[in-house]
Amino acid sequence: MVTYATPIPDDTILQPEPGPRCATCEQVKLHEWINWQKCWSTPYVGVNNEPRILARPIGHHPIMLRLHSQANVENLQFWWFFICNRCRPALHIRGLYTERKEVDNRELIIPSVEPGPRVNGVQMWPVLVEQNWARNREIDGQLGVDGFWSRPSSPASSFGSDPWMGHLGNIEDFSD
């Protein structure tokens, strides 16, 4: 049996659903707690014009991350991303823990693959590393993320995803 595929006309192609997308599965997550993380490396532009980074977790294979949006705080620039509640356990099974991590450039030793004497070169690569708490403390303070009950450092373009929805109750109930 022969089947023929007909192309879908351009006017019927659905626009992508708006909202924050998980960096690994790329699904839109509107009603989920989002743990925003920072990427300090310069991304490249993906096929569909989305910012992407190939991060190398220490001791693991590289992981492709789709970045959400760029942020500027004083003279610092970084990109936001998050890994959803469904993808984090899947990464844990593979031994990769992404909590309290960020992507930053690090020097990695790259072994030579060419014939001849083995020469190792050092190159800068995006690596998934522990957060730089000193740097983040300054940035998060300016973003209003100072204490436990402060909102998480979420970019304004999260399209209404409110991770505190239903968790805070009436603030006046907690005052003495």
User: Which residue range(s) make up the domain with 98?
Assistant: 20-157
Residue 150 lies inside a defined structural domain of this protein: yes
Please report which confidence band the pLDDT of residue 6 belongs to, taking 50, 70 and 90 as the band edges: very low
Task: Tell me what pLDDT residue 164 has.
Answer: 46
User: Are β-strands 76-81 and 69-73 bridged in parallel, bridged antiparallel, or unpaired?
Assistant: antiparallel
Nearest CA to 112 out of 102, 100, 103, 122 is that of 122
Question: Pick from 159, 5, 4: which is nearest to 68 by CA?
Answer: 159
- In 3-state terms, what secondary structure has residue 12? helix
User: Would you say residue 67 has pLDDT above 50?
Assistant: yes
Q: Does 142 score more than 50 pLDDT? A: yes
pLDDT tens-place string over residues 106-120: 887 766 667 766 666
- Over 90: is that where the pLDDT of 104 sits? yes
Residue 114 within any structural domain of the chain: yes
Number of domains within the chain: 1
Lowest mean pLDDT among 25-34, 111-120, 149-158: 149-158
Whether residue 168 is contained in a domain is answered as: no
Averaged confidence pLDDT in the chain: 75
pLDDT exceeds 50 at position 128? yes
Q: Is residue 66 part of a domain?
A: yes
